[in-house]
Structure 1
Amino acid sequence: MLKKNMNLFIGGMFLALLVITAIIGPHLTYVKEGIEPGRLIFLEGGGLLRAPFEPSRDFPLGSDHEGRNLLSLILMGTRDTLLLILLITSIRYAVGVILGTIASFRGRVVSNVLNVWDQIFSSMPIIFVAILFLTLPMFIFTEHRFWIAVISIALVEVGRVGVTVRDQLVHVKKQPYVEAGRMVGMSPFALAIHHYWPNVLPNMLVNFCFDIGRVTLIIGQLGIFSVFITQEFIMMNTGFGQLVNTSYNWSTILGEARKDIYTAVWIPAAAATAIMFVILTFNILGEGLRKHFNRLGT
């Protein structure tokens, strides 16, 4: 099966690589040592080098301005990045599936809400909505910023997910085998288990993979505009407050290195490449799953 479906094979291999990196990466000695700052390197001849360091044998991807190994930062941030992306996408689909299911079973009010929801947010770039919302002072300085950011990004496209689920369920309900099930006395629960969800889940799984790629792109774009999700407002001894990033996720690395695009291009390039790899992984995996389910006739 995998030989006939290279997209599924390649996507699965890329996903396995990401999962292994997320699990093992933070525990590697190389990674732990690499995230320790070291702005100066003293040379044997008496000279010195000042961070950021260009890519070399000691720094395969170069270093940031603190002298931290970018490869170590990328490996350390894999888990945080994937968990953040999966959390946002999972919330979006949990809410969207529930609302779409209600709307498909004569939930006219919910159906109308989903239509309006989808039309409003599909007519404007999601990144602008997220930036406008997350840069409001009331959300910048709150201690609940992380969850507000995650939920707000997830809810922006709940309407699209809900409309898709509703339309698919309505289509399945009109099929002859569903009518036959009703005629023989199958309960609504039995119809859902044997007819509704087996026909809806394949498309939902494919769309879920594609949406992970969409969310990853949004997270990366937010980083470019220096809008971070994993950020806390901490009071300093001087009486002033400071926004501090609390994670090594890749959008944070990308945002902090935006100013280095002309002077130390390897810093934003490392984070951008990692983000692109995740997007590519789930797009390829989603296409592979689509081909697989089409071959099965589901």
Structure 2
Amino acid sequence: MKTDRTKPSAEAPAGETAKSAATSARSVAWARRRRAAAQFWRQYRGHRSGLAGLVILVLIAVLALAAPLITGSDAQSVTDAPGTPLEEPSGEFPLGTDQFGRNLLALLLWGARVSLTVGLLAAFLTVAIGTLVGITAGHFGGWYSTVIMRITDWFLVMPTLVLAIALATVMDKSIWTTVIAIGVTAWPTTARLVRAQTLAVESRPYIERATALGGGHRHIMGRHVLPNVMPLVLAQTTLVISQAILTEATLAFLGLGDPMIVSWGGLLQDAREAGAVSSGAWWYLAPPGLAIAVVALAFTLCGRTIESVLNPKLGVTR
């Protein structure tokens, strides 16, 4: 009878011990992640160029999000334009007006919302496709890797802009068309980089031990390969965003964007159609062009700094 009484009391602490051990393991993992993030931030803020790029991006993102509060919801309206067409910069209109008399400063803030959104979504799609192709090609190898890499090489030798223009031409003019056109044409570089990193990771001894212990393809790729290639993917993402913003501006400038929305490339297209170059309306051309250049430069600075922090051997200057 004494033994029966002691069995439940012995099993209860065992369950509590297992539960506390799992909780402790999770807390240790989160503590490591917090320390790694804190260490990354300490190293990142030591690079003045990367910090300047981050400040610029945060400022532009805040202004873009606050555009409805700063300019009002009717700033894009053609019928309720507050000024006269192609009015020079003044106290009322710091950046002048466009061909319809709309405030160019307000249009610039609204255009930032579209350009940043397209850049982020297109970069996410590009990196997602490139990461999937690179990891699977590096992991499986054989005929699959040969075929998928030949397709990747074909996309690499073909001009990305030409392919994006072809897709944007045959599809409906919308923001999603631009995202898809950029995403499905700009992934090969990421795929190449991720495949090379995957091959390096899978040559390590712990991958062989995980395979010998019964780890399947999904376990190896998801639990071992992906976490090790994520730093490279993160650095590549910031660089791809700047390329996506430039490509979106080019497509919009060529008239392949959505005519119903305001973007920086669309503003350049409107300026060209309004004859801003011949009429000397520099305030119509300069602000959106400078905005595109500044944002692309800021993302590039952040990307190079992240790459330098994650791979100190590069020796990027601060």
Structure 1 residue 80 displacement after superposition: 1.8
Structure 1 residue 199 displacement after superposition: 2.2
Distance in 2 (alpha carbons) for counterparts of 1:10 and 1:120:
37
Structure 1 residue 223 displacement after superposition: 2.7
- Residue 114 of structure 1 aligns with an amino acid whose one-letter code is I
Task: Indicate whether 1:280 and 2:300 are aligned.
Answer: no
Q: Unmatched 5+ residue regions in structure 2?
A: 1-41
Structure with the bigger percentage of helix = 2
Distance 1:176 1:123, change over 3 A: same
Distance in 2 (alpha carbons) for counterparts of 1:188 and 1:135:
40
Please point out which of 20, 41, 65 is paired with 1:23.
65
Structure 1 residue 191 displacement after superposition: 4.6
Q: Percent identity?
A: 27
Please point out which of 96, 101, 111 is paired with 2:135.
101
Greater shift in the superposed pair: 283-292 or 174-183: 174-183
Greater shift in the superposed pair: 257-266 or 63-72: 257-266
Structure 1 residue 126 displacement after superposition: 1.9
- Residue 266 of structure 1 aligns with an amino acid whose one-letter code is W
Distance in 2 (alpha carbons) for counterparts of 1:134 and 1:261:
27
Distance 1:293 1:252, change over 3 A: same
Structure 1 residue 73 displacement after superposition: 0.5
The two structures, once aligned, show a CA RMSD in angstroms of 2.7
Distance in 2 (alpha carbons) for counterparts of 1:53 and 1:208:
39
Does the 8 A contact of 1:220 with 1:251 survive in 2?
Answer: yes
Residues 208-223 of structure 1 aligned to structure 2 (within 5 Å): 208-223=237-252
Does the 8 A contact of 2:131 with 2:194 survive in 1?
Answer: yes
Q: Which residue in 1 is equivalent to 2:52?
A: 10
Task: Indicate whether 1:76 and 2:110 are aligned.
Answer: yes
Residues 248-263 of structure 1 aligned to structure 2 (within 5 Å): 248-258=262-272, 259-263=275-279
| SS in structure 2 of the partner of residue 105 of structure 1 | helix
Distance in 2 (alpha carbons) for counterparts of 1:131 and 1:188:
37
Q: Which residue in 2 is equivalent to 1:241?
A: none
- Residue 174 of structure 1 aligns with an amino acid whose one-letter code is S
- Residue 69 of structure 2 aligns with an amino acid whose one-letter code is H
| SS in structure 2 of the partner of residue 262 of structure 1 | helix
Q: Unmatched 5+ residue regions in structure 1?
A: 42-49, 231-244
Does the 8 A contact of 2:241 with 2:299 survive in 1?
Answer: yes
- Residue 104 of structure 1 aligns with an amino acid whose one-letter code is G
Does the 8 A contact of 1:226 with 1:256 survive in 2?
Answer: no
Pick the structure with greater CA Rg: 2
Structure 1 residue 196 displacement after superposition: 1.9
Structure with the bigger percentage of strand = 1
Distance 1:146 1:108, change over 3 A: farther
Does the 8 A contact of 1:60 with 1:71 survive in 2?
Answer: yes
Q: TM-score, normalised by structure 2?
A: 0.74
